[in-house]
Structure 1
Amino acid sequence: MTSSASLGPLRAKFRALEEERERTWSPDALAVNVNQRALLVREHGQIQGVVQKGDVLPEFTLPTVDGATVSLIDLVAKGPAVLVFFRFATCPACNIALPYYRDTLWPKLKAAGISLLAISPQPVPALSEIATRHTLPFPVASDVGLELSRALGITYKFDEASYQAAVSKGGRSIDLNGLDDVWELPKPAVLVVGPERVVQFADVSPDWMDRTESDKVLKALALDAGEASHAA
């Protein structure tokens, strides 16, 4: 077992959650979660079309949980922007990651005039819960129907055991992604997108319990040694 002391701050938080689950979940329930994540890690390197540095993102306009809309053109109008893709509002790992980014990433981005947008395929009414719960100071947008996530090659489909577990609890895919009986979600990902919609940094996490640390994003933006404004 890896010591929490040797892990990054976010990964250490996830490890604590894993240890709690090992103590409190049934072996069968734990196996469903662990096996799905392990499968995604094994298959990730074989998948074609996953977004990477140098790609040009498609233009998009998404609804946000506060009733507005946000477009990529506006986000990168004055410099780079950070896009954080997550699964859904009640995902335990997402409820660890987004407050972590709020506290460790957003302050330096804001000081440098860099936008951050969190994106999930969940429909706005349910998605708004996570923004309210954690008082997120950056916009949270809905990629309902997974159009953007699919274009970036970052989605995955539930394996049979995960599907059966979700259905047995009364789950409906339409509540997670706006699609009826399509059990598909984005892998967590962090992108830095510059002017002309060019990806300057891309980190896609096939294991949703092992996500991008803030220091990697700050380093990609040259903010790890202090803020430098990117705004005009």
Structure 2
Amino acid sequence: MAEQAPAEVLAPFAEELRQLAATGVPDDVARPGTRLPDADLLDAHGSPVTLHEALGRRPAVVVFYRGAWCPYCNLALRAYQDELVEPLAARGAGLIAISPQKPDGTLTVRETNQLTFTVLSDAGNTIAGRLGILTEPTDDAKAAQAVLGLDVAASNADGTAVIPMPTTLVVDGSGTIRWIDVHPDYVSRSEPAAILAAYDALI
């Protein structure tokens, strides 16, 4: 993108990242030892399912991502497909990814990245809101996104531009959060090796 977009378009994103890094992880983020919230979600075909139903009473890694439009999210999800699916399955654990986008965006993510794990839509950011991980692009960032042909609000199921900070949780079979890793800087993500290490240490 740096090679294709003018500097004046990219500058708001750099400033947004600076602000996010300065603010850091919100104070009210869910803590290990608390129960993972439940809510009605939608699968990639628009069928309703609760998060706890999708978990199926087994331990899991739950990943919150911004949407199909986010290149960093797609890179991370492909890495998780390649490096987490089989190791987690060998441990009897699942992998679930959640975003606030419409189900058709969820389907796009699954098909584009050839994901075999569960990908769900949290319309209205109900669960992400209860976890305390919500944010929204700055007005300048939204304007820069529009120049690039991106409308986050149009991709989200609730018509807002509110999105989760990239976040990874390790959840045990009872639905209790054992580990949470929040990334206000959306360029960085939880590394697969760190996720597996947290899982092995806590589950």
Q: Which residue in 1 is equivalent to 2:10? A: 30
CA distance in 1, matches of 2:57, 2:36: 17
CA distance in 2, matches of 1:173, 1:207: 17
Q: Say if 1:61 and 1:72, in contact at 8 Å, map to a contact too.
A: yes
CA distance in 2, matches of 1:202, 1:113: 20
Q: Which residue in 1 is equivalent to 2:106? A: 127
Deviations 1:70-92 (A, max 9, x none): 43333444431111111111211
Residues 1:97 and 2:61 are matched in the alignment: no
Equivalent pairs counted in the alignment come to 202
> For 1:1-232, what aligned pairs fall within 5 Å after superposition?
21-45=1-25, 47-169=26-148, 171-180=150-159, 182-222=160-200
Identical pairs, percent:
30
Corresponding letter in the other structure for 2:125: L
CA distance in 1, matches of 2:106, 2:57: 28
| Mean CA deviation greater in 58-67 or 97-106 | 58-67
Q: Which secondary structure state, in structure 1, belongs to the residue aligned with residue 174 of structure 2?
A: helix
Instruction: Compute the RMSD of aligned alpha carbons.
Output: 2.1
Deviation of 1:173 after TM superposition, in Å, equals 4.1
Q: Say if 1:90 and 1:130, in contact at 8 Å, map to a contact too.
A: no
* TM superposition score normalised by structure 1: 0.79
Q: Say if 2:38 and 2:127, in contact at 8 Å, map to a contact too.
A: no
Corresponding letter in the other structure for 2:43: T
Mind listing any 5+ residue stretches in structure 1 that lack a counterpart? 1-20, 224-229
Give the direction of change, closer, same or farther, for the CA distance of 1:146–1:72 in structure 2 (3 Å limit).
closer
Corresponding letter in the other structure for 1:84: V
Q: Say if 1:64 and 1:140, in contact at 8 Å, map to a contact too.
A: yes
Q: Say if 2:9 and 2:147, in contact at 8 Å, map to a contact too.
A: no
Corresponding letter in the other structure for 2:135: Y
Deviation of 1:127 after TM superposition, in Å, equals 2.2
Q: Say if 1:117 and 1:138, in contact at 8 Å, map to a contact too.
A: yes
* TM superposition score normalised by structure 2: 0.89
Q: Which secondary structure state, in structure 2, belongs to the residue aligned with residue 102 of structure 1?
A: helix
Give the direction of change, closer, same or farther, for the CA distance of 1:155–1:30 in structure 2 (3 Å limit).
same
